DNA sequence: GCCATAATACTCGGATAAGTTGTGTCCGAGTAGGCTAGG
DNA sequence: CCTAGCCTACTCGGACACAACTTATCCGAGTATTATGGC
């Protein structure tokens, strides 16, 4: 049960996009080089984000991605689900129906085991939904020195066109 | 991000083992046929459970598995981690270190994004740790008619030796 | 009837293989802005 | 100087390849119970 690398990548990309000044865009190439990840594959993940309505990309030169919503309206869960899909981690195959001794009895309701597993997943989702991109960008300003932030902003703008 | 089928299988197996009368054992074959899953592959999962000290197997005919601890001392988390491994779902590759503008600055502490993701995983783990096998067996008695329970018990005992 | 031996039924572990998924690359089509050439 | 057309840089989408993992399957070794056979 491992999350894809793409999840880590797009979360970092989104926090960068969230810290971007109003109206700015960043190309896939800039984001990929900035994070040291393969550009073409990152592109796939960003497309998924675009399909989910989290970012929006524009074509042509000086094109690129920007957040489609304010950073405080995008939760971690939104981003994770956009890349990882909305499916559950635990899939119930109803193997209790394979019990050869059921006779006429057909089990109704949800399998107890699935219910427990899904309850845990709901807790996971709740936690992710409670954190927004804006929370991270704010925390980032404490972690990273001012000059690094400025150099990074300049670096990104330089290859944004 | 999907859990293996083995997780579902062993959770069902464990609840069956938990409902077993004192001193009873069940062979891999009985458990596999009862749930309609491939015996050899289920065997691998049960071995993992044995390595984790959740069940213990005995050799020879009339051998098989039984819980190594009382059913109220085995949590869902124990079982899931035994099969799925203790590793985290989100792995942090510290791609923030790839930022070409860091200069002398070396980021310390844990990546903010990883911290959020792991916090969510902790919530998932807490939830799974709060449910024990005994909770499910108790609930099962409400879901499944008495006669089905008895027939199943008999069926399992018949191929237990 | 008793004991030694063989047969049986299970666990354990390794080897192997097919199918699926994650990861990464490549290329063509479409689009928007900048550049150049001709008026 | 202005405009039309070309060029460039980007996104988008599909096709493809490789590696890793999941999901099995098979077989041999070890072990404990049961069955058998010889005394």
Using the CA of A51, give the nucleotide whose C1' is nearest: D12
**What DSSP character marks residue B38?**
-
Question: At residue B146, what are phi and psi to the nearest 5 degrees?
Answer: -55, -50
Helix/strand/coil for A146: helix
Q: What percent of chain B has pLDDT over 90?
A: 83
Helical H segments across B28-111, by residue range: 28-35, 39-51, 76-84
Helix/strand/coil for A118: helix
Using the CA of B3, give the nucleotide whose C1' is nearest: D22
Q: What is the mean pLDDT of residues B120-132?
A: 98
The pLDDT tens digits for A37-88 are: 999 999 999 999 999 999 999 998 888 999 999 999 999 999 999 999 989 9
Helix/strand/coil for A58: strand
- By C-alpha distance, the chain B residue nearest A141 is B112
Give distance CA B31 / C1' C26 (Å). Answer: 49
Q: How many angstroms separate the CA atoms of B98 and B113, rounded? A: 15
Q: What is the mean pLDDT of residues B133-146?
A: 94
Chain D: nucleotides under 7 Å from a protein CB? Answer: 8-14, 22-27, 30-34
Q: Which residue is nearest to nucleotide C30 (CA to C1')?
A: A59
Q: What is the pTM of this model?
A: 0.93
Are A27 and A63 spatial neighbours (Cβ–Cβ below 8 Å)? yes
Q: Which of residues 36-65 of B touch A (CB under 8 A)?
A: 36-37
Q: Which of A30-39, A54-63, B21-30 has the highest mean pLDDT?
A: A30-39
The pLDDT tens digits for B37-81 are: 999 999 999 999 999 999 999 998 888 999 999 999 999 999 999
Longest Cα–Cα distance in chain A: 72
Helix/strand/coil for A125: helix
Nearest CA-CA distance, residue B77 and chain A, Å: 10
Helical axes B5-19 vs A112-129, angle rounded to 10°: 130
Q: How far is CA B91 from CA A7, A25, A125, B127, in A?
A: 10, 28, 17, 21
């Amino acid at each position: 049960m491992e999350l894809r690398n793409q999840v880590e990548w797009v979360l970092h990309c989104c926090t960068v996009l969230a810290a971007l000044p109003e109206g700015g865009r960043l190309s896939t190439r800039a984001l990929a080089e900035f994070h040291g990840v393969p550009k073409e594959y990152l592109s796939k993940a960003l497309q998924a984000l675009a399909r989910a309505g989290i970012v929006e990309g524009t074509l042509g030169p000086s094109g690129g991605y920007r957040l489609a919503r304010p950073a405080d309206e995008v939760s971690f869960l939104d981003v994770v689900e956009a890349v990882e899909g909305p499916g559950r981690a635990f899939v119930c195959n109803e193997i209790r129906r394979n019990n050869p001794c059921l006779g006429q009895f057909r089990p109704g309701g949800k399998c107890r085991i699935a219910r427990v597993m899904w309850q845990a997943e709901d807790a996971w989702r709740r936690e992710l939904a409670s954190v927004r991109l804006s929370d991270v960008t704010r925390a980032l300003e404490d972690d990273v020195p001012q000059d690094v932030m400025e150099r990074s902003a300049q670096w990104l703008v330089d290859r944004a066109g």
